[in-house]
Structure 1
Amino acid sequence: MILLDEPTERLRAAIVTGELAPVRLAIVAPGGYGKTAVLEDLARAEGVRLVDDAHLLGEAELAELLRYLDDEQAGLVIAARPYPRPEGLSQVLGRLRGQIVLRPFDLARTAKFLGSEERAEAVYAETGGVPGLVRAAGELTLLRHELDQAGDDVVRFLLAAEAGMGPDLVHGQIEVAHATGLVAGDGRLLPIAARALRELIPRDRQTALRRQLVEMQLEREGPVLPLVRPLLGAGLTGTEIGAAFEAAAEEAAAEPALAAKLYEAAVKAGRRIGAQWAEAVARTGDFDEALRLADDVIATEGAPDRADAARVAATALAHRGQLARSAELFQWSDTGDSSCFAAIALTGTGRLEEAGESLEKCRAGGPPTLLSGAVSATARGVLESVTGQPAMALSTLVRAAEMLEPVSARLLLPDSPAALAALVALHSGEAVIAEPLLERAIETGTLVTRHRLLRAWIAMLRGDEEAASEGLRAAGDDLSPRDWLFAVGLRVGLARRASDLTALRRIWGQAREVVMRHPVDLFTFLPFGEFEVAAARLGERARLAPHLRQARQLLAALGNPPLWATALHWSGLHAAILDERPDEAAEHAGALAAGVGPYFEVMAEAAGCWLKVLSGDVEPEAVEAAARGLHGVGLCWDGARLAGQAAIRTSDRKAMVTLLDCARVLQGREPTVAPGPARLSDRERQVAELVLAGLTYKQIGDRLFISAKTVEHHVARMRHRIGAGSRSELLAELRAELEPDQGTI
């Protein structure tokens, strides 16, 4: 099938009908453009000599054509590729009067050729509309002859084009490569040609030619990654190919998994690589393998990269939750940045004096890069969080996070300034500052899972269970031990806040396991606090006691800094309340009064309110103020719970309604509507009265001649309609609904 554009079709018709005579034209086009098909069609024309593949003719044959053209009435249509161009062919073409121009198909002609509009767009994109390639799209082997005839120089050029290398890598082959029709006008290898290279050229020939290209590129000191990538898994050895794999791995820094494979190939090829390979593996999240590789280097006397290997091992250990051992390796590494990371780890494990010494080391020497400035500021901010003002510490860490953002994506970090800033913000009631930092860190691709979990933690404290659950799902299941600790803490916290005792019991097994595997450090107080409250709820506090004792010993070693102590005392307060230990609760409430500043005042006031509420002394205005204060520092669920529990414990109906409304508002729900029969049906009011009387579902069913399951259904509907967050809140709401409008009940 010949599908020509309109001008070319008119010219073809004029030749065939004899309207144009004598005919002396050339068809010069790359392979696959349909030159032979046009010549076969023109065979119907009278008095026209047709010559195909004129670029392959010898000088004698070309000389004979020149003599033929001496007759001015002689007709000739000659087809040739644009390269090669023998001198004799140039002379023949110079004696002709014009050219038949063959162009690639457009999309419409592609569809017509294929007889399918559905396939046309994909085939056009793959072939560039070159007719021969459109035909080969359904049968790739049609290109085998073209590739078999191409010499090694041409195939090398095509392989270089496939890798995106410029034409200067393979000198002098651009014309002949374009003449094959496999290369677009801009030098880009057409996708179908790339597929043909991979599938039709024998593997051994491909490997040999690619290796030659790599060696040529190494000599030019140009990038080798696109050329080396297809050689992975070929089992190549030798000094030069090993160096190429190593160079490609350095170029692939933004793709840790690929870099790790390239370093492994370089080692198998005979290169000695240690810390770089370990670092690439660590950046994939495989901390076990990274530790093994790094440890091999550290144990090798005289290895030039032992300090770097120690840094990698220390970083991997930080992700595994082994912060004390991580600090030792950072100290041993003894570089400027490692000293900064050591200061952070030492602070986190209660070794304050050593942390100060490491901080002094990290300030000395080395170029003032963004990394060095950011990690130095991070270490200083963490130390300030223990020894100085929380606001100053947070400000320092925020600046460090912003400083590191432009370069963070390619770094192997034990922790990020954004994550540490978020922790300080959460411990000081400034979650609103933490969120944008975490968002930007996620966008840059830095420690994405850690930042997602911390963002989910903020959502949980705010009472947004849906966002917290979504963040937990987004973090996935392939977690480092440190991330697993926070993920389990989130699951425990969400189950507790939903009053889902079944889910809490189910997740408690994981909580026990993660607590056994992850030592307590300063940066883990949030999940350990959740575990403490859950343990009290489940009667399991004794299991957690040794770990909580470690946490409090750590605080004591750091001088009991209020910023970090407050969260632990807050969870301890609630654990003591659940465990019915008023003396212990009072002790925690007293400790919460030690901090100075608005946040600590809010926490102390709330703790005092809790103690009064538990003793039956409910002051509605004070409770509401404390609850709203908790809401203001990001503890929205805690604020709503305080108001709700106070409502349950007051005998003043008006105070009950007010506090329930406060709890609902703090949970982001509508205040209670005016009480009356409109909210409950008659049957529901009967059920509600018996629920308030303390009867079981079975007893209520027996009274009302319905099943216990039906009673349960009625209670669930009432809870949903009223919007109660828990059973205790439901009971308080039902009392407000059913009791007469009096000052007390």
Structure 2
Amino acid sequence: MSAPVLSGLPLSGSAASQLLDRVAADPAAPLLAVVGAPGGYGKTVLLRHLADAYRGAGVPVDGPWPPRTLTAEHALLIDDAHRLSPEQLADLSEHASRPGARIVVAYRSWPRCPELLRLIEVLRRGGPSVVLPAFTIGQVATFLAAHLPAAPSAELTAFVTEQTAGIPRYVARMADALAHTPAAAPHVPVAALAPFAAELDELDLDVRTLLLAVEAGAGLSFDLVAAVLGEATDVADLVEAGRATGMLAADGTLVPLARRAIAALGPISQRIDVRQRLAARQLARGGPVLPLVRPLLRVVTGPGLVPGAAGSGLGPVYEAAGEEALGDDPALAAELFEAAAGAGRTTAARRALAVALAGDLDHASRLTDQVLSAGTPEQRAEAAYVAAAVLAHRGQTAQAVRLFEWAGSDVSAGFAAVGLAATGRLPEAERLIRADDPSAQPPTSLSAAATLMARGTAESVTGSPSTALSTLVQAATVIAPAGPTALLPDSPSAIGALLAMHCNELDVAESLLTRAGLQGTGGALLATRHHLLTSWVLLLRGRLDEVEQRLPATVGAAAPEGRDNLFGTALRVGLARRNGDLVGLRSAWPDACQALIGQPVELFNLLPLGELAVAAARLGEFHRVAGHLAEADRLLAELGDPPLWAVPLHWYRLQAAILADDRDTARRHADRLDAARASGAWATAYADAAAVWLDVLAGRADPEPVLAAARTLSLAGLTWDAARLAGQAAIRTSDRKAMALLLESARAMQGSGARPEQPATSAPARTTPAGPQLLSAREREVGALVLAGMTYKQIADRLYLSAKTVEHHMARIRQRLGCADRHELLTRLREIIGDPESNA
């Protein structure tokens, strides 16, 4: 049925309509009726309809009780009968018992007294008992259509129904507010909440306290509510009183619109007090306190207020809430620990931990310095661990090791051993690993992971790569449940991925990093590292388009610090070099040099060092990396030249020597690679490729060994290196048949790396109508690289062609376009292909 409206208020329910029809049909007939519903369901509106019906028929209407004049001809309409005194209710019951009486009484279910129950029983025996229901969604739609400027959408109707629970008074408030504040998306206007202010003020103090407790999250937990109201309070009676207001639903939840209003309009001092009492009780019984404390944080620590000063003894509550928030929202945890400190708790070390997990390393360092200089022994140990982790993220591993050792826990000892091995102090690392005593402290997943990381790192130096990798995979599995809650100097997934990349186990590296990302290992602080290392795996695979797509998320405007900055800048350098983008390489080089200067050499940053060595040779600035390479040689020598870590660096330095045309240095590194070939198939692949490179440099580009070595590299995942070897061999051979075979193989390997066809330095092609017909796809590609500023030799290296072939392509282009000189040729190419700089 449609909802009749009086004075802007809706009315619903078939029983109400039947009562109105009965009065309209025979207004003179005796009538006893009772109307019951919580507030807001339209009891008063129904009585007004009845009054209009009686008066329209000439029947006088009286009410409230006791009326000034009352005769047998009068109809008696009584609203809010629950507010009458027992004496008034008794008199009313007596009047209802008289023959011919016409009485309709409306009431709420609470407060309830015997006299009210007796009156209801009398009325029910003589006539209908009307229960006013909430609107259906169809009735809400009908009401909104009658009151809004435009027909309501299904989305708006559903939203209003959900917010109001279909309670007619609340539907009317929403409709009125929406009519005056239209918006594209469904929302709750402030005007819809304003009328609740007076209603909340009129409530009994205990009822309002109950509603505030439910809004805070207590629900109908009687012991929590009793903690706020007092043990002597009858909570069950108060719940009934709350339901009678209409704000509290039958299931004990607040109507959403009422919840918003209570949160916005409830007396702030009472709201704070209620939440503090609830939180104290929750803490005492071991329940969660964060949902209770979170909304108060901005209030309690607002302008002019001292954190924690809104109540005494709340420090433990804020501290417990901070511990709950630590894993999901460390920034919030830091604020809560600060509030706890304002309430008298000593939480500086925990706050430093939260700040570090949130990624603010500078702030974390300042906090740990304060604790280390003035804290208790326990606090200083925790602060030392946090400070060490911060230093590790900044790449200062040797300094981090000192603090880890000083912290004195089994977890910090494990991470200290990892750092010692990474910086060349293997005997000290092994002593720490052997000294691990499981009975000294209760073992945890974090301590077990730290120990496994230490063993895996040591095994990567002294044992087989497969054993070391297996140990680190175990560590990643053990620490997985900790997710983002643990502050780690590095993750087993990151170290395992680095190890896997060094021995060409790229699938394992990618899998480890993917799982770490899904599990949130190390939180936001390690998310960048995992992202960077995943990009590095893609770089090694030759999937340059994917690397380029990931770079904005890797090293954007807010550049990472320390070791992440080194990996990020080296990644840009490596991408530009592999794309043959000399302009991009020169652009990325200063940042990479700056990042390298601030990072001591250790095992875990040999990959970016090797990449920068090749770039330095390409740019003629090898002196920029010579000192770090000498340091790397010393580090590896101290560790006994472990093949896992040494071989890839020799491969990079071989490539650098090739670019610098330094054949003696190239041979020296090729010999080192050959000496390590017994370490495994991955080392053999590098050694075979190095030997072939020496032959290619000497002009002996025999296709069979070249292709064999290139295929081995490709199968190891190093598709870009494989394609480059085959391409360079093709360029250097004079046998045209061998050249064709090698070029075709290079292109096939290049394609297997999923490298984009469009050169990274060229812009999206813009062609004139005649462009496609004038130039072939290969000629347009060559022309785009010429416009990008590349020399014929650079283009040949990029496309795995010979310089003569590139020259031949340019001659054909000039002939097809009919250009007399170079200036005219470049102008025509820009018309056909587009200007790379204008589209960058």
When normalised by structure 2's length, the TM-score is 0.80
The residue that corresponds to 2:134 in the other structure is 104
- Aligned equivalents of 1:220 and 1:684: distance in 2? 75
Change in Cα spacing, 1:156 to 1:202, as seen in structure 2 (3 Å) is closer
Change in Cα spacing, 1:701 to 1:110, as seen in structure 2 (3 Å) is same
- For 2:685, which of 591, 602, 614 is the aligned residue? 602
- For 1:127, which of 157, 164, 168 is the aligned residue? 164
Q: How far did residue 704 of structure 1 move?
A: 4.3
- Aligned equivalents of 1:343 and 1:161: distance in 2? 52
Contact 1:640–1:662 at 8 Å: present in 2 too? Answer: yes
Change in Cα spacing, 1:312 to 1:684, as seen in structure 2 (3 Å) is closer
Change in Cα spacing, 1:373 to 1:533, as seen in structure 2 (3 Å) is same
- Aligned equivalents of 2:576 and 2:161: distance in 1? 55
Q: How far did residue 713 of structure 1 move?
A: 8.1
* Letter matched to residue 114 of structure 1: L
The residue that corresponds to 2:25 in the other structure is 17
Q: Which deviations, in whole Å up to 9, do the C-alpha atoms of 1:642-698 show, x marking residues without a partner?
A: 111111111111111111111111122699xxxxx9994999899999974859979
Q: Which deviations, in whole Å up to 9, do the C-alpha atoms of 1:541-570 show, x marking residues without a partner?
A: 101211222122111111110001112111
Contact 1:62–1:89 at 8 Å: present in 2 too? Answer: yes
- Aligned equivalents of 1:66 and 1:353: distance in 2? 97
Q: How far did residue 380 of structure 1 move?
A: 0.8
The residue that corresponds to 1:362 in the other structure is 436
- Aligned equivalents of 2:809 and 2:694: distance in 1? 31
SS, match of residue 580 in structure 1? coil
Contact 1:697–1:708 at 8 Å: present in 2 too? Answer: no
Q: Which deviations, in whole Å up to 9, do the C-alpha atoms of 1:609-656 show, x marking residues without a partner?
A: 111111111011111111111111121111111111111111111111
Q: How far did residue 212 of structure 1 move?
A: 3.7
SS, match of residue 17 in structure 2? helix
Moved more, 327-336 or 287-296: 287-296
SS, match of residue 362 in structure 1? coil
2:346 equivalent to 1:272: yes
* Letter matched to residue 531 of structure 2: R
- Aligned equivalents of 2:580 and 2:121: distance in 1? 92
* Letter matched to residue 174 of structure 1: V
- For 1:63, which of 82, 90, 99 is the aligned residue? 90
Q: Which deviations, in whole Å up to 9, do the C-alpha atoms of 1:145-189 show, x marking residues without a partner?
A: 211112343333223322322322214132222222222332222
The residue that corresponds to 1:639 in the other structure is 722
* Letter matched to residue 57 of structure 1: L
Contact 1:105–1:129 at 8 Å: present in 2 too? Answer: yes
Aligned Cα RMSD in Å?
A: 3.0
Change in Cα spacing, 1:521 to 1:51, as seen in structure 2 (3 Å) is same
2:668 equivalent to 1:593: no
Q: How far did residue 305 of structure 1 move?
A: 2.1
- Aligned equivalents of 1:126 and 1:445: distance in 2? 35
Contact 1:14–1:20 at 8 Å: present in 2 too? Answer: no
The residue that corresponds to 1:27 in the other structure is 35
- Aligned equivalents of 1:327 and 1:413: distance in 2? 13
Please list every run of 5 or more consecutive structure 2 residues that lacks an aligned counterpart in the other structure. 60-73, 146-150, 178-190, 227-234, 756-772, 784-791, 793-801, 835-840
- Aligned equivalents of 2:673 and 2:810: distance in 1? 42
* Letter matched to residue 141 of structure 2: A
**Count of residues in Structure 1 that have an aligned counterpart in Structure 2:** 715
- Aligned equivalents of 1:179 and 1:398: distance in 2? 60
Change in Cα spacing, 1:548 to 1:211, as seen in structure 2 (3 Å) is same
Contact 1:160–1:227 at 8 Å: present in 2 too? Answer: no
* Letter matched to residue 85 of structure 1: R
Q: How far did residue 363 of structure 1 move?
A: 4.7
Moved more, 399-408 or 335-344: 399-408
Q: How far did residue 417 of structure 1 move?
A: 1.0
* Letter matched to residue 442 of structure 1: G
Q: How far did residue 450 of structure 1 move?
A: 1.4
Moved more, 384-393 or 518-527: 518-527
Q: How far did residue 436 of structure 1 move?
A: 1.8
Change in Cα spacing, 1:460 to 1:132, as seen in structure 2 (3 Å) is same
Q: How far did residue 699 of structure 1 move?
A: 13
**Equivalences for 1:653-672 in 2 at 5 Å?**
653-668=736-751
The residue that corresponds to 2:204 in the other structure is 151
The residue that corresponds to 2:798 in the other structure is none
Contact 2:424–2:635 at 8 Å: present in 1 too? Answer: yes
SS, match of residue 105 in structure 1? coil
- Aligned equivalents of 2:286 and 2:28: distance in 1? 57
2:732 equivalent to 1:649: yes
* Letter matched to residue 13 of structure 1: D
* Letter matched to residue 132 of structure 2: L
- Aligned equivalents of 2:782 and 2:541: distance in 1? 36
The residue that corresponds to 2:324 in the other structure is 251
Contact 1:297–1:303 at 8 Å: present in 2 too? Answer: no
* Letter matched to residue 822 of structure 2: A
* Letter matched to residue 295 of structure 1: D
The residue that corresponds to 1:376 in the other structure is 451
- For 2:225, which of 158, 166, 170 is the aligned residue? 170
Please list every run of 5 or more consecutive structure 1 residues that lacks an aligned counterpart in the other structure. 672-676, 721-745
Q: How far did residue 219 of structure 1 move?
A: 4.5
The residue that corresponds to 1:191 in the other structure is 256
The residue that corresponds to 1:84 in the other structure is 111
The residue that corresponds to 2:708 in the other structure is 625
Contact 1:697–1:712 at 8 Å: present in 2 too? Answer: no
* Letter matched to residue 542 of structure 2: G
Q: How far did residue 369 of structure 1 move?
A: 2.9
Q: How far did residue 508 of structure 1 move?
A: 1.0
2:542 equivalent to 1:463: yes
Contact 1:297–1:306 at 8 Å: present in 2 too? Answer: yes
- Aligned equivalents of 2:260 and 2:376: distance in 1? 48
SS, match of residue 492 in structure 1? helix
- For 2:645, which of 539, 564, 571 is the aligned residue? 564
* Letter matched to residue 246 of structure 1: E
- Aligned equivalents of 1:185 and 1:113: distance in 2? 24
2:364 equivalent to 1:337: no
- Aligned equivalents of 1:110 and 1:473: distance in 2? 48
* Letter matched to residue 474 of structure 1: A
Moved more, 476-485 or 211-220: 211-220
Q: How far did residue 19 of structure 1 move?
A: 8.3
Percent identity among equivalent residues?
A: 44
SS, match of residue 667 in structure 1? helix
The residue that corresponds to 1:573 in the other structure is 654
Q: How far did residue 368 of structure 1 move?
A: 3.5
SS, match of residue 251 in structure 2? coil
When normalised by structure 1's length, the TM-score is 0.90
Change in Cα spacing, 1:186 to 1:520, as seen in structure 2 (3 Å) is farther
SS, match of residue 100 in structure 1? strand
* Letter matched to residue 196 of structure 2: L
Q: How far did residue 333 of structure 1 move?
A: 1.0
2:506 equivalent to 1:413: no
Contact 2:212–2:266 at 8 Å: present in 1 too? Answer: no
Contact 1:537–1:579 at 8 Å: present in 2 too? Answer: yes
The residue that corresponds to 1:117 in the other structure is 152
Q: How far did residue 313 of structure 1 move?
A: 1.0
The residue that corresponds to 2:188 in the other structure is none
Q: Which deviations, in whole Å up to 9, do the C-alpha atoms of 1:256-299 show, x marking residues without a partner?
A: 11111100111122221122111111100111111221222222
Contact 1:562–1:594 at 8 Å: present in 2 too? Answer: no
Q: How far did residue 475 of structure 1 move?
A: 3.2
Change in Cα spacing, 1:151 to 1:579, as seen in structure 2 (3 Å) is farther
Contact 2:213–2:274 at 8 Å: present in 1 too? Answer: no
- For 2:822, which of 708, 729, 743 is the aligned residue? 708
- Aligned equivalents of 2:294 and 2:803: distance in 1? 74
SS, match of residue 32 in structure 1? coil
Q: Which deviations, in whole Å up to 9, do the C-alpha atoms of 1:490-511 show, x marking residues without a partner?
A: 1111111111111111111110
**Equivalences for 1:714-733 in 2 at 5 Å?**
none
Moved more, 306-315 or 468-477: 468-477
- For 1:453, which of 532, 539, 547 is the aligned residue? 532
Change in Cα spacing, 1:714 to 1:404, as seen in structure 2 (3 Å) is farther
Change in Cα spacing, 1:693 to 1:246, as seen in structure 2 (3 Å) is closer
Q: How far did residue 198 of structure 1 move?
A: 3.2
Contact 1:146–1:180 at 8 Å: present in 2 too? Answer: no
